[in-house]
Structure formats: structure tokens, C-alpha cells
Amino acid sequence: MSAYQAPLKDIRFTLSQICDLEKLLTLPDFADCDGDTINAVLEEAGRLAAGVLAPLNRQGDVQGATLANGVVTTPDGFRDAYAAFRDGGWNGIQFDPLYGGMGLPLVIGNACAELWNSANMGFALCAMLTQGAIDAVSTHGSDELKETYLEKLVSGHWTGTMNLTEPQAGSDVGALRSRAEPAGDGTWRIKGQKIFITYGEHDFAENIIHLVLARTPGSPEGTRGISLFVVPKFLVNPDGSLGQRNDLRCINLEEKLGIHASPTAVMSFGDNEGAVGYLLGDENKGMRCMFTMMNAARLGVGVEGLAIAEAAYQHAVAYALERRQGKAIGATDSGPAAIVEHADVRRMLMTMKAQIDAMRALCYVNGQALDLSRHHGDEAQRAWFGQLAELLTPLSKAWCTDLGCEIASLGVQIHGGMGFIEETGAAQFYRDARIAPIYEGTNGIQALDLVMRKLGLQGGEVVRRYLGEMRSLDAALAGGGETFAKTRANLGAALDSLEAATRWLAEAAVADPNAAAAGATPYLRMFGLTVGGYLIAKGGLAAAAQAGEADADTPFLATRVATACFYGEQLLPQAPALLPSITAGSGPLYAIAPEQLVS
């Protein structure tokens, strides 16, 4: 297997030239951050990823997490790796220094998360869930809950989970049956079973803080009657020390397609007197609290798609440079050529590389929008960036995780028959990637969210404004001359189609909601392709402008320009082609009866 290398040049370029990190760091809340600090953080995060986490990735896949007598053991080396992660303060990158965090922008946390997920997704999942729990407690918790839990969660000495799904409910959270009964002392007693709980039990930390959705007595049906509770594995004494074991346990670990190192637990709450829980936020407002955690997690899952794609790409490039097979067209050397010289292999590698650059730009711009929504000094700007983040989040989550699977599949293809053999390592990326389109609301749910909710934000003004922002790049592309001429034309055509699709869906959502639902997934794909084209073109223009500077990294900048042009010329034309699928209505989906679907 090839060794993972942190793609710091590309990360820094995306942060500086597409996200305008320098401007973000001028905000008062980031007064203690500067470029040197960010570079140092990224360097160290890269070292942890490449030197500690990546060497354990294969071991984690082969050995997996195990359960015996209620105790979960993670693969060899993982517990020590987590200790290094925790002791380095990495869990608290973007969190409040009041609770021990570094206070850096979320977009830097996203960049570090990319490195860790590329190196070892099975390991990195634990931190993502913990960070989501921190967001939920920080936003909705009482002063007492914050004082009890935040410092330990931020430091990583305790970890967090999200307990939504139940066997009978799946993605329909409103169908959950877990119950919470008031105990009369301000606490609640939780009873029920949850499935698919990532790191629901493990040996990394001394306490695990479960955030659990449950119904209280007399609560309304559906999602309106759900509350959220903090349910610790060990109760916490008034002095902060750990008390007795709570009434909860892991009763099984799922056997999964991939991410074998990550324990995916079936959790049972309240087999005896009931697990002690503490209400987070208001009663029957649990979904509002949980969405704070889920929205952060959805962007985090998008970063996972990016990360797996980067890892699969690096692995495929290394193989393509080394593997010699066949004679390349036009080659003058005798003997077989490295397969990187063959046109179709080059097509696959360029497709992977260009898509990864676009995915990284989208995820980081999404994180930057969240930073600005929280820290910008102008209220109107905070509101705008919050709305932009709402619009971009389903794109980051769904488009990037779909592409993560496709890119990992291309990685297998480049390896040929050896890609289907586990010992090369290409198959693991493919298997690990497959969960991401399902996590945190399947990608079909993300598409429905985009069409049914996000297109209507501020009466459609949020989408119109962002389309206008993308249109504004046209003049700069025109100034780029022949280099960007085809990209300019294709971006214009993609935006025309996106505007037409948006208008059609906005009308259909009112007149025929099922027709809008039928077009939602191809629409999200079109939107992702177009935003990716806009952002990568923006980066390509910046690279071209820098190329003439005295200290320019000419080969790197030339690569960025060429990759942006490849995307604009080879991939962006796919966006307008989706318009007929988007506007076809629901008829083609329901043309035959359900029983006729059976062969």
C-alpha cells in the first residue's frame, strides 16, 4: 500500500485563494490567530494523520472492533493513537477557549478533519460525533450541563454520541419509541433501544456522553413530541468525578461492509430502573436541538466523502505510476508503459483530481460560511452567511459523499483486477466510503431538503443571490483569455440550466410536490456540479494570477489551472444534461405498479 501524504499545498491554496482565510482572520473573535498559527496547526495535523493514524488504517480494517462481555475493544494501536490525539488538544480545534478549546475557525477544523479521515476514517468518526455533541450542549444546554460536560468533551477525555435511530424507525425519526419518564428530582429515566450508534461503546475514554432522543409522557405524535436527553455512561458527581455506572449497555456490534475499526453499537437504555438522563433544551423540542448536532455532522460527513476520495486518489496515482502494462499510443520506448500514460487511466485520474479540488472548495466554503454566520460583526452579514450555510450543507453532504463513492470506485478500476483483491488496499476505500451517503440523513433526504426547504429560504432570495454571485465570475473568466474560454461558456450554460431547473422546481413544489421530489436528486447533482465548477474556476483564476510572481510555485500553480480547466471542459457540461431528468415529473417513476417491479 502507498503511504498517505497530507495534501497541505492544496489545502492552503483552497483556504487562502477560494475561502479568503486572511479576511476571516481579521474578525475580532479570531484576533489571536494568524497565518503562521494556522500553518503550524495544519503541519502538525498532517504529521499526526500521516505518521500515526494512516499506518493503523489497514490494521483497523482487518482486525475490527470487538465486543466481549459488554466490553468493546478497538483494534491494536487505536487506543494509543487516541491518547495522542487527545493529548494534542485536537478535539478542541474550533471550540471556545473558555472550555479548553483552541478557538480556531471551524473551516480549520474541517481541514484537519479531512486529514484525519483520509488517513483513517474508522478512527476519525469518534471525534466527529464528539464535536457534534459539543455543538448541541453549547447551544442548548443549561449552565449546569455546560459546566458538567463541556470541558471534558472539548478536551476529548470524554466522547459523545448521537442516538437517533431505532430498528422500526430508520430515517423516520418521528416513529421512535424510546421513552423518558420524569424521576421527580429534575432528572429523567430513559428506556429504549437505539441502533447504528457510532462509538456507542469503546475503550478510548473514561466516559461516553450519549445524546438520546426519546418521548415524554403525553407528548404529541411524530417529531413534534420528541425530546433530547444527555445520558452519560457514568454519572458525574458534584465535584466532577465519576460516579456509578448508568443503566445502559452495548448489546451488539454491527457487522459492516466497511469502517470495521469503528464500533457501531446497538445500545440498550434502561434494562433495569431506567438510565438517568438530563433534558437538553426544552421538552418536545428535541429535534431542534438534535439538528444543531446533525447539521454540523452533515458537513462533517461531506468532509468524509472528500477525505476518502483524496486517500483513494493518492493510492491510485501511486499504483498508476508504478504499474507497467501495454504500450502507450505514440510511445517510442520499447517495453510496457506505466499505465498512467494510457488515455483512459489519465482520464480517470484527472476526473478524480478535479472533483476532489471542487469538493474541497465546497466543504471549506461551507465551513467558512458557518464561521461568518457566528462571528461576523454585522448582523445582516451573519444572517446571510447563515442562510448560505443552510443552502450549501445538503450539497456538501450529498454531492461530496456520492463523489467519494465514485472516486473510490475509480481507484479500484485503476488497479484493474488487483483492485478487487483486498491486499492492495484499494477496496477498503470503496467499502469505507459507502456509508457516507447514508449517514446523517440519506442523500435522497438531503435532496428533498434542498428542494422543499432550502430553495424557499427568504422567498427564494438566498438561491437567487448565490446564483448571482456565481454569475459575477464571468467577467474574470473573460479576462482569462483562451485558457478559460471553454470553462466560461460551460459555466454560463450550467448556470442557465440551474436557474431554469430552480424555477421549475419552485413551481412544482407548490403545484405537484411529488414531481418536485422526483427531480430532487438530479437537481442536487446539477447544483453540486455547478457550484464545484464555479469554485474550482475561481481557484484556477487565482492560480493563473499568481503564476507570474517572483516566488511562485510554478508547477503547482500550473497544475491548479490545468485541473480547473479539465473540470470546466470535461465535467461541467454534465450539468445542463440533467435538466430533462429534473423536469420530467413523477410520471416515469410511477409508470408501473409496485408489483410490476418484481422480475
Bridge partners (DSSP) of residue 278 are 230
Bridge partners (DSSP) of residue 189 are 181, 276
Task: Note whether 247 and 188 are within 8 A (CB).
Answer: no
Distance CA 30, CA 11 (A): 20
Q: How many CA atoms lie within 13 A of 471 on its CB side?
A: 11
Helix, strand, or coil here: 172? Answer: coil
Alpha carbon 185 to its chain centroid, in Å, reads 39
Tell me how far CA of residue 92 lies from CA of 27, 130, 134, 547, in angstroms.
20, 10, 9, 36
Neighbours of 471 (CB within 10 A): 15
504: cell is: 421549475
Contact residues for 556 (Cβ-Cβ < 8 A; gap 6+): 9, 13
Indicate the Cα dihedral angle 378, 380, 382, 386, nearest 10°. Answer: -170
Place of cell 463541556: 150
Helix, strand, or coil here: 282? Answer: coil
440 belongs to the catalytic site: yes
Alpha carbon 293 to its chain centroid, in Å, reads 13
Task: Note whether 534 and 564 are within 8 A (CB).
Answer: no
The 3-state DSSP composition of the chain as helix, strand, coil percent (nearest 5) reads 65, 10, 25
Length of the chain measured in residues: 599
b or e along 166-184 (b: 16 or more beta carbons within 10 Å of the residue's beta carbon)?
beebeeebeebebbbeeee
Task: Note whether 190 and 273 are within 8 A (CB).
Answer: no
Task: Note whether 30 and 375 are within 8 A (CB).
Answer: yes
DSSP H or E stretch at residue 102 = none
Query: Nearest Cα to 81, choosing from 116, 36, 107?
Result: 116
Neighbours of 319 (CB within 10 A): 24
User: From start to end of 293-392, where are the E strands?
Assistant: none
Tell me how far CA of residue 66 lies from CA of 69, 70, 172, 252, 532, in angstroms.
10, 10, 29, 9, 40
Catalytic residue among 440, 469, 482, 507: 440
34: cell is: 494568524
Alpha carbon 151 to its chain centroid, in Å, reads 25
Residues catalogued as catalytic = 440
